[in-house]
Structure 1
Amino acid sequence: RRQYGPCGACGDMSHSTQFWRRRCKFCKQVHEPGRCEVFQELTKLVRTKVDKKDIAPELQTLLFGEPLN
């Protein structure tokens, strides 16, 4: 069995950081859930500078907790 060395994200010896499955699907980095800086910045931008009625209902739920009617 091939050894990759310790994973930089979790320390496991069975895989490299490139194949770690717990990466953020939004920014592709490794961080704690809810700590994505890219998502937080996008949320802040959308909340302040975009007409909320133009956002798709799925994104409204993601950003604001419920769709705006």
Structure 2
Amino acid sequence: MASRRIDLTTALWRRSSYSNGSGGNCVEVADGLPHVVPVRDSKDPHGPALVFPAAAWSSFVTAVKDAGLPGA
């Protein structure tokens, strides 16, 4: 299966609302891309991003919230 590159140079990133003020242990998510949700480490904004299918990301977020995990 061939992979395709998604251009994230103009993506608008938002930091998790559960991030602490010092920038530790944070993720950023880019909204507004059709069918995918890019996620990156906020401490390394020029590093790689993981790109998930939107439905899979939604399922993950719901599962974390339903589990009542800290920071969810």
- Could you tell me the TM-score, scaled by structure 2's length? 0.29
TM-score by length of structure 1 reads 0.30
Higher helix proportion: 1
Q: With a CA cutoff of 8 Å and minimum separation of 6, indicate the structure with the bigger relative contact order.
A: 2
